[in-house]
Amino acid sequence: MPVTSYLALGAILFSIGLYGVLTKRNAVIVLFSIELMLNAANLNLVAFSKFGLHPSQVGQVFSLFSITVAAAEAAIGIAILFALYRNRGTVEADRMNSLKG
Residues 43-82 close enough to bind another protein by CB under 8 A:
44-45, 47-49, 52-59, 61-62, 64-69, 71-82
Q: Is 52 exposed, middle or buried (0-12, 13-18, 19+ CB in 10 A)?
A: middle
- Does 12 contact another protein by CB under 8 A? no
Q: Considering the complex, what minimum distance in angstroms separates the CB of residue 24 from another protein?
A: 11
What would the x/- binding string for another protein be over residues 17 to 36, using CB under 8 A?
Answer: xx--x-----x--xx--x--
Tell me the sheet residues that pair with 92. 26
| First CA to last CA distance, the chain | 52
Choosing from 40, 90, 92, 94, the residue that interacts with another protein (CB under 8 A) is 40
3-state DSSP assignment of residue 100:
coil
